[in-house]
Amino acid sequence: MELLLFGRNHKVMPFVFPQRMCALARAFRHDTDGIVLPYVTIVLIAIIGISLLALDGARLMSFQTNLQNRADAISVAAAAELDRTPTAITRALRAINTFGQLSSENIKVGDVRFLSSLPLRDSDPITPANVTTDPTRAAFVEVTLQPASFSTVLPASMFGAANVLSATAQSVAGFDQIVCNSTPLYVCNPFEYPGMSYGQATAALVDASVNSAKQPKLIRLNRVQGKSSYQAGDFGYLTPATGTFPIDSCGPPKGNGIGQALAASRPPICFRLSSVDPFSADDRMAMDGLNTRFDIYADGFERCKANFVADVNVRKGYIAPGNTNWCVATPYGQNWPLQDSIATPLPLDNNMVVQSPTAEQRIDPTITLGSGVWDCLNYWHLAHYAGPGAVAPPTGCTTEAKISRYSVYQYEMQYITDRSLGGEDGDPKCNPLGVKYRRVVQAAIINCGSGPQLMNDDSRNVPAAGFGRFFITIPAGLGTTIYAEFLGLIKPGDVESHDTVQIYR
């Protein structure tokens, strides 16, 4: 039956509302789609937990990186002080304490060890054999930080874990001094005496470097190849750590470039403090190269004067035939370099000269280190016989000199034209060009008596106690003997020194 409403021709649907409501109720009662809501809740909790865990993981990685950066910075600051001198460890610890004060309160240094060497492989552990307390051997420093902690964002205690994470860091850094453009020479520490430990010998060297009373002491450097071991005052030659000898440059064809390397002002070679390698070389070629600094050119160097100029002051107690051809000048007197009546080089120390029963003076070859007492006044009167400087010796130039030969050499530069009775002045004649301080050379200094291995020309990886400057007082005219004054050590920061501080672990 249809129900008509609102007038004619208007129809409405049958009245079905109650039936549909019942159907909806039955469908709702049997509907199971809502069961996903608990799973969604659980997944949301897991997602939030994983996010917090990832956040804490990222924070831990950042915290660990910060710790490692701090450990690296502290170890580098300490390693920069490890120059193998007696105060190296003290200064390194001071650097650690100073740098540590700049750190946050949560980052503290836990342990510090100084090392003389490292294992061959980074994977190998550091053992007590690598550890040292001797500052003259400490080449590396190991810094370990105390464990530091931070609170997590994730409440891990709800799951039986800790709400605080901790981490630590360790770093190993080392120092090496690299000296470049240096003469390829080593000298056995002339201030080392038999029975000294390595540290004592190095301390004696450092003391001589800063003690002005010891530097005027003349040193007799002696070269004797073939010895089974070397002692204080012996010298030899070094293989470059980097670079090569100037073999192809003008000079003698023999000697594999050792002569040219000793003649050059800035040979293209470098040496490491931590490890030098001695080698045997042609002594004659080497000494001829060294003597170019005194305006003496032999064995092929005469055609290389432009390459190897002399010093500005080459006064050496020589005379020339007729005072004309100074390229063939020779030492005056049979006892050169002892003082003579008309020409004299810078004198030896008094204790290096002995008087024979016949009243003749001779050199005592057993003395390596002089007393520092020498006759400057007589030298000045002989070497500066005529000229404006004849009546103007430097202060301290007395019969028992209170001045070093190096200081006299410098002072003489203002009186280059003064002449000895034999006609010698200080100006180079064979090669008129001259460069100041060519008579100053650099050399590695080795503790030959107390080193970790027997020292000879077959030794390898020998540690140097330091690099020093030496003023050559006279030419190497006595075979392979050099007389020199020690001017001090090359220090980190000096123009010749290229200091290397790096992280090893």
Q: So what's the pLDDT on residue 8?
A: 46
Q: How far apart are the first and last CA of the chain?
A: 99
What pLDDT, on a 0 to 100 scale, did the predictor assign at position 301?
A: 86
Query: Does pLDDT of 96 surpass 80?
Result: yes
Q: Please check the confidence at residue 192 and state whether its pLDDT lies above 80.
A: yes
Q: Say whether pLDDT at 472 is over 90.
A: yes
Say what the pLDDT of residue 485 is. Answer: 96
The pTM of this model reads 0.82
Residue 128: Cβ-neighbour burial (10 angstroms; 0-12, 13-18, 19+):
exposed
Identity of the highest mean pLDDT range in 177-186, 206-215, 328-337, 356-365: 177-186
> pLDDT tens across 338-377, in order?
888 888 999 999 999 987 776 678 888 889 999 999 999 9
pLDDT over 80 at 155, yes or no: no
pLDDT at 52 over 90: no
Contact of 215 with 484, CB cutoff 8 Å: no
Whether the per-residue pLDDT at 335 is higher than 50: the answer is yes
Angle between helices 36-79 and 88-100 (to 10 degrees): 140
For the stretch 352-390, what's the b/e string if a residue is b when 16 or more beta carbons lie within 10 angstroms of its beta carbon?
bbeeeeeeeeebeeebbbbebebbbeebbbbbbbebebe
Structure-block tokens of residue 217? 């002491």
pLDDT of residue 40: 61
pLDDT at residue 190, as a whole number: 95
What average pLDDT does the segment 44-50 reach?
Answer: 66
Mean pLDDT of the region 270-284:
91
Write down the mean pLDDT value for the chain.
Answer: 83
Least confident of 99-103, 108-112, 269-273, 498-502: 99-103
Least confident of 9-23, 74-88, 454-468: 9-23
Q: Are 498 and 269 in contact (CB under 8 A)?
A: no
Determine how many CB atoms are found less than 10 A away from the CB of residue 437. Answer: 16
Residues of the chain above pLDDT 90, percent: 39
Task: Give the contacts of 79 (CB within 8 A, at least 6 positions apart).
Answer: 92, 140, 141, 173, 174, 175, 501
Residue 402, pLDDT score: 92
* Confidence check: pLDDT of 309 > 50: yes
Comparing 255 with 387, the larger pLDDT belongs to 387
Residue 10's pLDDT is what? 47
Share above pLDDT 70 across residues of the chain, in percent, rounded to a whole number: 82
Amino acid 101: pLDDT: 59
Determine whether 438 is exposed, middle or buried from the number of CB atoms within 10 Å of its CB (0-12, 13-18, 19+): buried
